[in-house]
A and B are shown apart, each in its own frame.
Chain A
Amino acid sequence: MAELTADNTSPKRRGPLFYAGAAGLVTATAVEAIAVSGRWLSLPLHGALEIIQSAILVTACVSMLSATLAGTHASVQLLLNRLKPRVKHVLTRGASLISAVFFAALTIASVWLTVEHWDGYEETELLHIPLRPLRVLCSVSMLAVAAVFAYRTIKPRTGDR
């Protein structure tokens, strides 16, 4: 599936966002590997699944923003590649606008559910990891993706012009 990504983010541009996503990924790997080893050695790691779920959520949220910043979302280019640059530019901005509206709707949906569950003090069963911050992170990431798309509507990436 990596075929649909082409952009390369410069190492110099790696910031806290990258490190947060990478930390989630490394945590998920490490905990899962320890859990597997533990199972074979009869030393089960209780709650591993809950830690992995939380780590994966962090990675997922950060990665969606990361892909948006890098402009690597998969799209069908069959028509776009055959259009005049001016028309292509208009369609690209239109695509960014629709994407911004879609993610804004997801932000509203996500915030809505976060507010609804706020007083429920949701937490995982074994380790009691609170779900509130994770829901907030999810909402913030949707908002950030919407904001990036909105910005691209006004100011497209150089390659999209």
Chain B
Amino acid sequence: MSGVVGVVALLALLTLGIPIGVALGVVGLVGLAVLIGAEPALIKSGGIVFETASRYELGLLPLFLLMAHLCFAAGASRDFFDAAARLIGHRRGGLALASILGCAGFGSISGSSLATAATVGLVGLPEMRRRGYSDALATGSIAAGGTLGSIIPPSGALIVFGILAEQSIGKLFTAAIVPALTQTLFYLITIVLICRWRPSIGPALPRASWRERGQALLRITDLVALVLLVLAGIGLGWFTPTEAAAVGVVGALALCARRRRLTRTVFLDALADTLRTTGMLYVVIIGALVFAVFMSLTGLSDQIAAIMNAQSDPTIAVVTMTIILLLLGSVLDGLALMLLTTPILLPIIQSLGLSPIWFGIFLVRTMEIGFVHPPIGINLYVIQEIARDVPLSRIFKGVLPFLAADFLHLALLIAVPALALALPAWLGT
């Protein structure tokens, strides 16, 4: 009963605009005080604050953020888009395809859905509109492509999940690679099909010469090398994720210097941006950990797990969870959704004999869908900020085919868990 009251109270606080970390923490702290007394509740919370702030594994969060800000300053988003546009811009819908690939490339640095949609959108959207692409295809492809930033490692969402669920972040990153690649592929196929059906919405551009293509590819070799070093380093066990993040920062600094973009202002701006985002995430994580302790004491997960174990097989349970997550994703933003549901659903997943690593990927994938469907659909609003004359309804119309691809991909992830689990098992991470 106390667990249900806690969840309802949390939803109410979140809806009233209380900061997510605070809402989680308040419900957790008050709930713990009711269940075990005020003094133990305070001591437990104080312990969580110090342990979280001094936790080595959490060091990768600010370091990856710093790497992303430095790569952004080095012009990564434009370069990824340009290279893809030169390579495939001459095909129907080529620039939309390039936007997806640009998002995938920049997502492998930024770890953020919105940052990816915003930065690639700034480059790709004006270009597509100038070349006569339909507004729906142009905005829809970037809004959907932006979600790749949340799943392509190093993903901020997976880091937060890993900390909260006490799972190996290296394993989560490795597990995300195949789902991220297949999601990219699904988006590319969607664009090809739409443009085959209605060729006028994505006209082909003149073919770039091989020299131009070579130059564009050459410009991203350093970025690609950095991304591969970080990802391969984690996947093959050369570095721990925190070490990989530090190597990534050093690499990003070298990259900025090589491109003559490394100035005092750029460096200080990157540090300032990193600090602000880091602070927001630390508050969220502290609140979520206090909430998770409360939830574990309420026994809510055990009760739900018992019901699910008694009445259904794992697939039905997962489908039920998907529906709940998608419904909640309509009213909560991705981060709040993850922090609210992980402490409740993870024990259920484990009791059903499913992998927590798979659940992390599944949860992030579900969370991504919330980024592109109303009323929250934060990516839609970002795109509208860039293309103010395009109504939100038109952007949503453009996203619909990608949303269909998302549902198909999610179904595939549920039906074939090996999509996420095969690579970490194969690499032995």
Contact = CB atoms under 8 A, between A and B. Distances in A.
Given A33-B250, A74-B20, A110-B49, A3 B282 contact: no
A48 to B, nearest CB: 10
Interface string A88-114: 100110110011011101101110110
B281 interface: yes
A48 B410 CA distance: 41
A140 interface: no
Interface in B9-39: 13-22, 25-26, 29
Contact of B16 (A28, A53, A91): A91
Range of interface residues on B (Cβ < 8 Å):
35 or more
A36 to B, nearest CB: 5
B139 interface: no
B112 interface: yes
The main secondary structure of chain B at its interface with chain A is helix
Interface residues of A, number: 68
A55 to B, nearest CB: 8
B115 A3 contact: yes
Interface in B30-66: 42-43, 45-47, 49-50, 52-56, 58-59, 62-63, 65-66
Contact of B17 (A5, A7, A75, A135): A75
Contacts, number: 235
Contacts of A22: 268, 271-272, 275
B275 A21 contact: yes
Contacts of B114: 2-4
A2 B53 contact: no
The listed residue with most A CB atoms (<10 A of its CB), out of B18, B54, B335, is B54
A65 B282 CA distance: 10
Contact of B276 (A7, A80, A108): A7
A78 B157 contact: no
Contacts of A36: 239, 243, 246-247
Contacts of A151: none
Nearest to B24: A102
A42 interface: no
A35 interface: yes
A59 B336 contact: no
A54 B157 CA distance: 24
A1 interface: yes
A72 B43 contact: no
Interface string B317-341: 0000000000000011101100000
Interface string B51-88: 01111101100110110100000000000000000000
B17 A91 contact: yes
B157 A1 contact: yes
A11 B266 CA distance: 11
B276 A60 contact: no
A64 to B, nearest CB: 4
B111 A72 contact: no
A107 to B, nearest CB: 9
B20 A105 contact: no
A134 interface: yes
Nearest to B149: A3
A63 to B, nearest CB: 3
Contact of B56 (A18, A52, A73, A88): A52
B280 interface: yes
Nearest to A49: B56
A60 B19 contact: no
B376 interface: yes
Given A28-B63, A33-B247, A75-B20, A1 B55 contact: no
Contacts of A134: 50, 54
B16 A79 contact: yes
A49 B19 CA distance: 32
B93 to A, nearest CB: 27
Closest 5 pairs (CB-CB, A-B): A3-B114, A67-B279, A109-B46, A1-B156, A32-B246
